Structure 1
Amino acid sequence: MSIPHLITVLAMLLHVAGILAAMHAVMHTRTPQGAFAWVLGLTLLPYVTLIPYLYLGRSHFYGYVTLHRAHRQRLSQVSLPGELLGVPEPCMRYAALTQMLGSSFHAGQKLRLLIDGDATFEAILAAIAKAEHCVLVQFFIFHDDELGRRMQQVLLERAAAGVQVFVLFDGIGSHALPRHYVQTLRDGGVAIFPFATQRHNNRLQLNFRNHRKIVVVDGSLGFLGGLNVGNEYLGLKPPLAPWRDTHLEIAGPAVMDLQRSFAVDWHWVTGELPPLLPPQAAPGDAYTLIAATGPADPQESCSLYFTAAINAARQRLWLTTPYFVPDQAVMSALRLAVLRGVDVRVLIPARPDHRTVFLASTLHAHDAIGAGIRIYRYQPGFIHEKVILIDDDSASVGSMNLDNRSFRLNFEIGALSVDRGFAAQVEHMLLDDFARAVEITRDEYRKASYLRRLAMHVARLFDPIL
């Protein structure tokens, strides 16, 4: 066969494969917009889109979904002495969330806001160093750098002291983590594994990442938020430095729900369950709901989490997010909040860490400003915190970004707390953040060059996978 004929045959085969993949996309892609985008690309440009679809287009992980739901239901039945049976009136605004999550607000939480990397890892490493029984650690990213080795050392010390240590990291998020880092921990008695929704072969699965950040020490002290284990989260890697982020320390019954979330993921990876230790009572006044969301849930739980939080606001809704790519439901909720007279503000970065997402965020910000939403860009460095302040009594801290990956593709964790004292602390923190930001207007888009505006519109076409 001549070379021209061979090229023709290969082109025809690619188009046939593209059509078959497009049929798969129609049946299995989670949103109509995503299905339409994949179908166009796969039928018209299979040479460009077929391989990306193999990595990004797969939307099922049957074994994980079945096991996840079964064990989540089983673990949710593990009750605690004195576990909350009723909630005060301010928590009732979030009744739909508790129903969706199959969880409840827990009374008596002691909360500590941890601002930026130094405060966060000082608290986490100190808590682990005091562990006597069990440590659970889960991060999206581990790096083998100064902070990563500090974490490694404290885990090895606890394991050597007879403490049970369990570690999960995401297989794609931590793709650069060298094998010797993991092997050193295993040799030292630490149980450590990568998370993946496909047990045997995950090479063609880039979606459905475990983006959660959880640390639990002796069942009594928990941490969650936006920071991973790496020097950039300490603000040590320009050009994004200084890095602005927020984490949360929790003591009280809600820590059990952090353990439950970790246990479900651990069981999927290893087939075993880690110890579930009863948390100790804490001298706190906050009511806290732990929201573990992800693509294995029956509904799009993360998107609904944002929507419910926004709909609960009556006076104020302040959001911080590194990626502002709202779906239609969240954007509609934000618009309705403005129409209710709510003070809606969104804080986003002034510097990009992912240029395509940054361009799409800029166009969404332009549309939001037109709807009366006030948008601010944080100036000193990159802002990575994921915080929601609702009125004067509620605040959420977690790993959830305001984008489609968090809404539909990633496993996330957040804590929604109802307590005026804690909300006042979050307000003080955000006022300081907004003081270091510049409010933008629609001129940011209007005065951009035509090519840059075109790039924004092109970037927004990729919203379903951003």
Structure 2
Amino acid sequence: MIATFIAIAALALHAAGVLAAMHAVMNTRTAQGAFAWVLGLVLVPYVTLIPYLFLGASHFGGYVDLHRQRQARFFMLHAEAEPPARPGVAPHPQPVHDERYSPIGHMLKTAMHGGNNLSLHINGDAAFEAMFAAIERAEHYVLVQFFIIHDDGLGRRLRDALLACAARDVQVCLLYDSIGSHALPDSYVETLRAGRVDVRPFATRRFRNRFQLNFRNHRKVLVVDGERGFVGGLNAGDEYLGLKPPLAPWRDTHMQIEGPAVADLQRVFAEDWYWVTGERPPSMPPPERCGRATTMIVATGPADRQESCSLFFTQAIQAAKKRVWITTPYFVPDQAVFGALRMAVYRGVDVRILIPSRPDHRTVFMATTLYAHEATLAGIRMFRYQPGFVHQKVMLIDDDTAVVGSMNLDNRSFRLNFEITALNVDAPFAGEVEAMLKDDFAQADEVNPNDYRRLPYLRQVALHVARLFDPVL
């Protein structure tokens, strides 16, 4: 009797595995990912079926339709309620053309805007001091979005700052990712709502989806009164201030924008907010000119028709003539990005990549180690940051272009997460980023091809096994 039950259960699991494999073939975004899932689901469904429920599902409700109809729907509503212009304000600033990056704008239906003033904020203390100062000066509204919010010292400081805003009749909209902030207690959210802060979790389906771990909103955005915006790699938690060993000190970068580009930063937040609430958040047109920098806000995600994040990196790297310096916590590039990096080396471009020397996710770290070895063989200079964990997502191209945002060089950013970054063309700002990165590289050890060869054979095998998980890393 028991044997019969086991046989029926095994048969049912295999049948479910075959059905899930068919789903994977039809819906997985890459051939490599589809092959990996099919192999596991058909041969060992006992091991892979449950993980596929969490990681393999690729349908996320109406978000794709909403995203692809945003020009016809969202902007039509936005135009109907366009706030009146104020002195010194241009609601529709004329875009700036830069042939190096115009393909990115065409792909994402966005543009570069001149007249921006940029500020670089190195590490959490400087970044959050600037953000809290901006929130304190808010007069009309504050739009806040983080992937992770913790109920700790920094998280409670954010909560109190937003409550203080709401108390003086400033409209506050807070968006957090429901998986990234899974540990956020209900009491934190209830306190904000009781204080008239409109706080919502981001989810890619309107109904509860307990199995959906992919397609997370990894963006970090703050907009105050339409005048100034912040974007970068920092979340709201004490570890981002370097207060939690063993990853401390925490190395990260954020930036502040004042000027016309803030309108696009605000628009990206508004799209996410509109999906969650069905309502438009408050908005005001940005100042016409605050500085000389040209900025393009680049927002990518799995709802895009193209592999937009991967193509963004590919185009930006191909535009380089002198150098490409990148810092990323996870170096698990796809073939397009890896190929662009290698071709840059062959063009004589100085290609350097800074990665962590200690892991926060063991499997990703192991895959990164193998890719770092292969990169050195292609002439890409790889460096491991020694003082602590490097989490910043920064790219420096030649002498005038600096990119700061939330995008990692891994499959999650390329295909599974909603990301945002600011591409800035401004020689003085790029000079600040260059000085920052020179200091980072000075505190790093360069990876040598022999480092891999010195590893024990079983360790090398483990690195190759870790790389098999590329599609879900």
Whether the TM-score (by the shorter chain) exceeds 0.5 is: yes
Does 1:354 find its partner at 2:369? no
C-alpha separation in 1, matches of 2:187 and 2:36: 41
The residue aligned with 2:2 is 3
The residue aligned with 1:31 is 30
Could you list the runs of 5+ residues in structure 2 that have no partner in the other structure? 83-88
Does 1:340 find its partner at 2:339? no
Map 1:433-448 onto structure 2 (within 5 A): 433-448=440-455
Does 1:121 find its partner at 2:137? no
Q: Matched residues, percent identical?
A: 66
Task: Provide Cα deviations, 1:365-413, integer angstroms capped at 9, x if missing partner.
Answer: 0110000000000000000000000000101000000000000000000
The residue aligned with 1:59 is 58
Task: Provide Cα deviations, 1:416-455, integer angstroms capped at 9, x if missing partner.
Answer: 0001111101000000000000111111211111121111
Q: CA deviation at 1:74?
A: 4.8
Against the structure 1 CA distance between its residues 377 and 204, is the aligned structure 2 distance closer, same or farther, given a 3 Å change threshold?
same
Q: 8 Å contact 1:84–1:105 — kept in the other structure? A: no
Give the letter for the 1:102 counterpart.
K
Does 1:253 find its partner at 2:260? yes
C-alpha separation in 2, matches of 1:338 and 1:82: 42
Q: SS state of the match for residue 434, structure 1?
A: helix
Q: SS state of the match for residue 101, structure 2?
A: helix
Task: Provide Cα deviations, 1:67-97, integer angstroms capped at 9, x if missing partner.
Answer: 1222255556759837443535xx2211100
Q: Pick from 68, 74, 81 the counterpart of residue 90 of structure 2.
A: 81
C-alpha separation in 1, matches of 2:176 and 2:96: 35
The residue aligned with 2:86 is none
Give the letter for the 2:90 counterpart.
P
The residue aligned with 2:47 is 48
Does 1:286 find its partner at 2:293? yes
The residue aligned with 1:139 is 146
The residue aligned with 1:19 is 18
The residue aligned with 1:161 is 168
| Greater alpha carbon shift after TM alignment, 61-70 vs 168-177 | 61-70
The residue aligned with 1:421 is 428
Q: CA deviation at 1:217?
A: 0.5
* TM-score for the superposition, normalised by structure 1: 0.98
Count of aligned pairs between the two proteins? 463
Q: SS state of the match for residue 417, structure 1?
A: strand
Q: Pick from 383, 397, 403 the counterpart of residue 404 of structure 2.
A: 397
Q: SS state of the match for residue 304, structure 1?
A: helix
Give the letter for the 1:61 counterpart.
F
The residue aligned with 1:111 is 118
Q: SS state of the match for residue 99, structure 2?
A: helix
C-alpha separation in 2, matches of 1:129 and 1:72: 33
Q: 8 Å contact 1:136–1:215 — kept in the other structure? A: yes
C-alpha separation in 1, matches of 2:443 and 2:248: 14
Does 1:386 find its partner at 2:393? yes
Map 1:103-252 onto structure 2 (within 5 A): 103-252=110-259
Give the letter for the 1:85 counterpart.
Q
C-alpha separation in 2, matches of 1:72 and 1:262: 15
Q: 8 Å contact 1:83–1:106 — kept in the other structure? A: no
The residue aligned with 2:68 is 69
Does 1:265 find its partner at 2:308? no
Does 1:99 find its partner at 2:106? yes
C-alpha separation in 2, matches of 1:459 and 1:106: 42
* TM-score for the superposition, normalised by structure 2: 0.96
Structure 1 outlier segments of 4+, above 2 Å: 71-88
The residue aligned with 2:465 is 458
Q: Give the root-mean-square deviation of aligned CA atoms.
A: 1.2
Q: SS state of the match for residue 222, structure 2?
A: strand
Q: CA deviation at 1:174?
A: 0.2
Q: 8 Å contact 2:252–2:390 — kept in the other structure? A: yes
Give the letter for the 1:187 counterpart.
A
Q: Pick from 400, 406, 419 the counterpart of residue 412 of structure 1.
A: 419
Q: SS state of the match for residue 352, structure 2?
A: strand
Q: 8 Å contact 2:91–2:286 — kept in the other structure? A: no
Against the structure 1 CA distance between its residues 148 and 86, is the aligned structure 2 distance closer, same or farther, given a 3 Å change threshold?
closer
C-alpha separation in 1, matches of 2:194 and 2:109: 39
Give the letter for the 2:301 counterpart.
G
Q: CA deviation at 1:5?
A: 0.8
Give the letter for the 1:353 counterpart.
D
Q: 8 Å contact 1:72–1:260 — kept in the other structure? A: no
Give the letter for the 1:4 counterpart.
A
C-alpha separation in 1, matches of 2:332 and 2:197: 38
Task: Provide Cα deviations, 1:205-244, integer angstroms capped at 9, x if missing partner.
Answer: 0000000000000110100000000000000000000000
C-alpha separation in 2, matches of 1:223 and 1:168: 15
Give the letter for the 2:416 counterpart.
L
